[in-house]
Amino acid sequence: MDFRDALSDVAAPYQELLKASAQVCQEPSASFGGDEQVLQLIWQMQAFEGAALVLVDGTPVEVIEPGRWNHADGPDFCDAVLLIGGELRRGNVEIHVRPADWDQHQHTNDPAYGGIILHVTWFANPPAKTLPKRVPHLALERVLSSYADVQAALQRLEGQHTGRAHPCLNRFQQEPLALDRIVVAAGYHRLLAKTYRFVEQAEAANTAQVFYEGLMTTMGYRRNTEPFKRLAKEVPLKVLEPFSSKTRFAVLARIAGLLKEDQRELWDLWWESGLQPSLQPYHWDFTGLRPQNHPLKRLAGCLGVLHHLPTLLETPLADLPKAISKAAELLRTELGYKTALIGKQRAATVTTNLFVPYRLALGTLPTSQLSVLPSEDISMPMRDTWMRLTGSEDGLPTDGLRQQGLLQIYADFCHNPNLMCETCPLGRGSEPLTSES
Ligand code: SF4
């Protein structure tokens, strides 16, 4: 027997390992087309196609419980149970696309991330600089064959989840125009519901005050919406009206317990106003807060918007987010803030959730303008709904109206615990829509 034949036989098991390692030890894949939310979905559904999970340092990982998906602030999955190198661990899992996202989000200094037992990323390199040594790192590109395979696995699992492909998917593959009509109609429905809520509140209070409370609440970083709401109620618009925007800022900051005595000029402005701080302290949550979300910056942005409100109410919808961001800058230089006070995405949210209902309620917004509603960042519910309806991420709506429609379908159908796909009306070709509305 030729030595080649002889050695090939005995070397074959090792050559298989080399082949397998060539598959898993690839460079960061340029073909990764997902984002953090897709990775979260992969983790939640454990869409690993039977691949053995191994940390970047070679330690095997077994997932006993992936944990509870957390859609609020803090770690992405809570109360996971993992077997890492044979050791049972319970705690939270954080997921990012790149290891360095951990550094960028400054999780190490955030107590909310103290209980992390696994950092999951798609890419393996470059490693995070600040990830504590005790936190193991799992890089999915090292254990999964390709992103395309992962997407296919996700779709298969979604199908299994409901026992079969979603009825709506079968239907809309045949009727794409009906799908668009329904999504657009759902978008309109959502805006209408927001306007009804606004009108209801305005019946109980002054319309301008309702807008002001809404603005303050929308400005609050999620965990600070309550103190912002309280502040707007305790210091109503009427009380602020006689003052300049800078004095308004000083008053609100002082009453909210956010102003320091060494901020002399602002402190004096507050003192001259004669308004007293609340006896009940405000509870602001600074945990994991990014600098641009600091309540003082949000407050300053808010007062800029209020100052320019008459002009903003006349601004065409398509130009409104830009105009809101610009208006928010009113006090920025004077207060010494270096970065924009209201970014593009926040301005789009304020437009959709506040200006649109307010202007619809006032009757000053032609509904024809709603077709140019600004788009927001694609969120998990939008993506999830679109994938259910169409079977892929292709063609995810980039306009605000259809995005609102997806959110509505998610809330009313796909995420409705009382509705089964089997009985979902969207899966049947009986939608009564006959026009583009
Ligand atoms: S609930 Fe309805 S719209 Fe959502 S996936 Fe099921 S069939 Fe489709």
pLDDT tens digits for range 213-231: 999 988 766 778 899 999 9
Output the CA 426–ligand 1 centroid distance in Å.
6
Q: 21 versus 144: which is more confidently predicted?
A: 144
Q: 183 versus 222: which is more confidently predicted?
A: 183
Which SS3 state, helix, strand or coil, does residue 123 take? Answer: coil
Output the CA 162–ligand 1 centroid distance in Å.
10
pLDDT tens-digit series, residues 298-348: 999 999 999 999 999 999 999 999 999 999 999 999 999 988 898 888 899
Q: What is the mean pLDDT of residues 405-433?
A: 74
Q: Which of 172, 384, 387, 388 best tests ligand 1's pocket when mutated (most atoms within 8 Å of CB)?
A: 388
Q: What is the mean pLDDT of residues 38-48?
A: 82
Assess whether pLDDT exceeds 60 at residue 377.
Answer: yes
Output the CA 127–ligand 1 centroid distance in Å.
40
- The answer to whether the predicted template modeling score (pTM) of the entire model surpasses 0.75 is no
Joined tokens for residue 48: 């690993």
Distance CA 354, CA 294 (A): 21
Nearest CA to ligand 1 atom 8: 168
Q: 288 versus 230: which is more confidently predicted?
A: 230
Distance CA 437, CA 7 (A): 72
Distance CA 284, CA 281 (A): 9
Assess whether pLDDT exceeds 90 at residue 239.
Answer: yes
Residues at CB less than 6 angstroms from ligand 1: 166-168, 388, 409, 413-414, 419, 421, 424, 426-427
Distance CA 210, CA 236 (A): 10
Residue 158 confidence class, pLDDT cut points 50, 70, 90:
low
Q: Which of 413, 415, 416, 423 best tests ligand 1's pocket when mutated (most atoms within 8 Å of CB)?
A: 413
